[in-house]
Structure 1
Amino acid sequence: MKHDRTLTDATALTFPDFLEWAKESGEGRYTIYEIEKVAGRLDLTDEELDLIPADLGYFERVVAASPYGAVSRSNDLETARNRGNSRIRSALERFLLARGHVSPDSAARAGYNQAIAFIADHEGFLDRGALFTTNTHRPFLLVRARAQLALPDLDQEEFDRLWHDATPDGRKSLRKFAQRIAELRRGHNRWPELANLLPRQDFVVPIATDRARRIEWQSLPAPFRADAEEIFRQTLRQPADLRKWAKEQLALGRPAVEVDAEIAARVGKKKRTPKNIDSALAGYRQATTWLLRESYSPESAFAGLGTLRDLFTTDALEAACDAQIARSASAVTLKNADESSTLWSRFTNLTTIARHGLRDPEILAQINLVRMFNADYVLSPIEMTADAETICNRLRKSPHLAAAFVNAPARLSAISSERLGPASADFARERALRLSACAAAYAVQVSRALRPANLFMTRRKAVKKCPRNLTWIVDGEHAEIRFSGGEVKNGETLVVNVLGDDAKVLWQWDRVDRPKLMKLRGIDTSPYLFPGTAAPRLRKSALNLPSGCMSVAAIMELWDLGDRQLGLGLTPHQCRHALATLMLAVRPGDFANVASVLANTEKVARRHYGKDSGEAAAVAVRESLLAQHPDIFARMKRRT
Structure 2
Amino acid sequence: MKHDRILSNAGSPMFPDFLDWAKETGENRDTVYEIEKVATRLDLTQEELDLVPADLGYFEKVIAVSAYGAVSRSKDLDTARKRGNSRVRSALQRFLAVRGHETPDVGVRASYDKAIQFIMENEGFVDSGALFTTSTHRPLLLVRARARVGLPDLDQGEFDRLWHDATPDSRKSLRKFAQRIAELRRGHNSWPELADLLPPLDFVVPVASDRARRIKWKSLPASFRADAVEVFRQTLRQPADLKAWAKEQQRLGRPAVEVDAEVAARRGKKKKLPKNLESALAGYRQSTTWLLRESYSPDTGFAGLGTLRELITTDALEAACDAQIARSAASPTLKDADKSSVLWSRFTNLTTIARHGLRDPEVLARISLVRMFYADYVLSPIEMTADAEAICNRLRKAPHLAAAFVNAPSRLGVISTEALQTATTTFAQERALRLAACAAAYAVQVSRALRPANLFMIRRKATDGCPRNLTWIVDGQHAEIKFVGGEVKNGQAVTVNVHGEDARILWEWDRVHRTDLMQLRGIPSSPYLFPGTAAPRLRKSFLNLPSGCMSVASIMELWDLGDRQLGLGLSPHQCRHALATLMLAVRPGDFASVASVLANTDQVARRHYGKDSGEAAAVAVRESLLAQHPDIFARMNRRT
* 2:570 partner letter: L
Q: How far apart are the structure 1 equivalents of 2:117 and 2:19?
A: 35
Residue-by-residue CA offset, 1:384-414 (whole Å, 9 max, x unaligned): 0111111111111111011110110110001
Matched residue, 1:373: 373
Matches within 5 A, 1:96-135: 96-135=96-135
| 1:199 aligned residue | 199
Change beyond 3 A, Cα 1:614–1:203: closer
* Residue of structure 2 in register with 1:45 after alignment: 45
Judge conservation of contact 2:392–2:618 (CA < 8 Å) in 1: no
CA distances 1:355-386 after superposition (whole Å, capped 9, x unpaired): 00000000000000000100111111111011
Taking the TM superposition and a 5 Å limit, the aligned residue runs for 1:238-249 are 238-249=238-249
Is structure 2 residue 424 aligned with structure 1 residue 424?
yes
Which moves more between the two structures, 95-104 or 21-30?
Answer: 95-104
Q: Does residue 88 of structure 1 match 2:88? A: yes
Aligned pairs for 1:21-420 (under 5 A) are 21-420=21-420
CA distance, structure 2, for counterparts of residue 299 and residue 239 of structure 1: 43
SS in 1 for 2:334: coil
Distance (whole Å) between structure 2 residues aligned to residue 629 and residue 466 of structure 1: 43
**Greater Cα shift, 172-181 or 627-636:** 627-636
Q: Which residue of 1 aligns with 2:514?
A: 514
Which residue does 1:505 correspond to in 2?
A: 505
What CA deviation, in whole Å up to 9, does each residue of 1:102-141 have, x standing for no partner?
1222222222111111111111111111111111111111
> Aligned to 2:69, what secondary structure does the other structure show?
coil
**CA drift at 1:617:** 3.0
CA distance in 2, matches of 1:479, 1:107: 58
* Separation in structure 2 between the aligned mates of residue 611 and residue 554 of structure 1, nearest angstrom: 35
- Does 2:590 match 1:590? yes
Which letter does structure 2 place at the counterpart of 1:20?
Answer: D
Equivalent position of 2:12 in the other structure = 12
Aligned position for 1:433: 433
Distance 1:139 1:49 in 2: 32
CA distance in structure 1 between the partners assigned to 2:614 and 2:390 by the alignment: 15
Q: Which residue of 1 aligns with 2:451?
A: 451
Residue 260 of structure 1 aligns with an amino acid whose one-letter code is D
Find the aligned partners of 2:156 and 2:344 in 1 and give their Cα distance: 38
Shift of 1:505: 1.2
The answer to whether the Cα contact below 8 Å between 1:140 and 1:177 also exists between their aligned partners in 2 is: yes
- Is contact 1:220-1:302 (8 Å) kept? yes
AA paired with 1:326?
A
Please say if residues 609 and 615 of structure 2, whose CA atoms lie closer than 8 Å, have aligned partners that are also in contact.
Answer: no
8 A contact 1:31–1:87 mirrored in 2: yes
TM-score, normalized by length of structure 1? 0.99
In structure 2, C-alpha distance between the alignment counterparts of 1:135 and 1:429, rounded to whole Å: 13
Q: CA deviation at 1:630?
A: 2.2
Deviation at 1:615, TM superposition (A): 4.3
Counterpart residue identity of residue 203, structure 2: F
Match of 1:486 in 2: 486
- Aligned AA (2:356): H
1:424 positional shift = 1.5
- Whether the 8 Å CA contact 1:523–1:533 is kept in 2: the answer is yes
**Aligned 8 A contact 2:392 2:614 in 1:** no
What is the rounded CA distance, in whole Å, between the counterparts of 2:615 and 2:237 in structure 1? 48
1:533-544 equivalence runs, <5 A: 533-544=533-544
Moved more, 256-265 or 93-102: 256-265
In the alignment, the residues of structure 2 paired with residue 199 and residue 245 of structure 1 have an alpha-carbon distance, to the nearest angstrom, of: 67
Residues 584 and 617 of structure 1 are in contact (CA less than 8 Å); yes or no, is this contact kept in structure 2?
no
Give the drift of 1:43: 0.2
Whole-Å separation in 2 of the counterparts to 1:572 and 1:298? 36
Shift in Å at residue 215 of structure 1? Answer: 0.2
Deviation at 1:277, TM superposition (A): 1.0
Unmatched tracts of structure 2, length 5 or more: none
Distance 1:510 1:627 in 2: 36
* CA–CA separation in structure 1 for the residues paired with 2:430 and 2:116: 24
Letter in 2 for 1:636: M
- Counterparts of 2:201 and 2:140, CA distance in 1: 16
Given that 1:588 and 1:614 are in contact with CA atoms closer than 8 Å, whether structure 2 keeps it comes out as no
**SS where residue 498 of structure 2 aligns?**
strand
Distance 1:295 1:5 in 2: 27
Q: Distance in 1 between matches of 2:462 and 2:291?
A: 40
Map of 1:576 onto structure 2: 576
Aligned residue for 1:459, secondary structure, equals coil
What CA distance in whole angstroms lies between the structure 2 residues aligned with 1:483 and 1:140? 45
Is the CA contact 2:409–2:440 (under 8 Å) kept in the aligned structure 1? yes
- Classify the secondary structure of the residue corresponding to 2:34: helix
Check the 8 A contact 2:585/2:618 in 1, yes or no: yes
Deviation at 1:578, TM superposition (A): 0.5
CA distance in 2, matches of 1:286, 1:148: 39
Runs of 4+ in 1 over 4 A off after TM superposition: none
Shift of 1:638: 2.3
Tell me if the contact between 1:102 and 1:148 (Cα under 8 Å) persists in the aligned partners.
yes
In the alignment, is the contact (CA less than 8 A) between 2:6 and 2:329 conserved in 1? Answer: no
Aligned AA (1:394): R
* 1:460-475 matched pairs, under 5 angstroms: 460-475=460-475
Q: Distance in 1 between matches of 2:295 and 2:164?
A: 26
Q: CA deviation at 1:631?
A: 2.4
> How many residue pairs end up in the alignment?
640
CA distance in 2, matches of 1:364, 1:339: 25
Cα distance in 2 between the residues matched to 1:419 and 1:3: 38
Identity, in percent, stands at 80
Deviation at 1:5, TM superposition (A): 3.4
| Higher alpha-carbon deviation: 246-255 or 593-602 | 246-255
Structure 1 residue 290: Cα displacement: 0.4
Q: Which amino acid in the other structure matches residue 638 of structure 2? A: R
The alignment's C-alpha RMSD in Å is 1.2
Aligned to 1:631: 631
* SS of match in other structure, 1:298: coil
Change (3 A) 1:444 1:46: same
- SS for the counterpart of 2:423 is coil
State the distance in 2 between where 1:120 and 1:86 align: 22
User: For residue 224 of structure 1, what is the amino acid of its counterpart?
Assistant: F
1:543-622 maps to which residues of 2 (within 5 A)?
A: 543-612=543-612, 615-622=615-622
- Residues 268, 356 of structure 1: 8 Å contact kept: yes
Distance in 2 of aligned mates of 1:612 and 1:37 = 26
Note the alpha carbon deviations across 1:485-519, whole angstroms, 9 max, x for none: 11111112110011111111111111121111111
Offset, 1:253: 2.3
Following superposition, the deviation at residue 614 of structure 1 comes to: 5.5
Q: Provide Cα deviations, 1:567-609, integer angstroms capped at 9, x if missing partner.
A: 0000000000001101111111111111111011111111111
- The separation in 1 between residues aligned to 2:207 and 2:300, in whole angstroms, is 19
Does the 8 Å CA contact 1:563/1:570 hold for their aligned counterparts?
Answer: yes
CA distance in 1 between counterparts of 2:33 and 2:187 reads: 47
CA positional deviation for 1:613: 8.9
Residue 498 of structure 1 aligns to a residue whose secondary structure is strand
Once residues 613 and 196 of structure 1 are traced to their aligned partners in structure 2, the CA distance between those partners, rounded to angstroms, is 59
Judge conservation of contact 2:314–2:370 (CA < 8 Å) in 1. yes
Answer whether contact 1:438 1:559 (CA < 8 A) is retained: yes
Q: For 2:530, give the aligned amino acid.
A: F
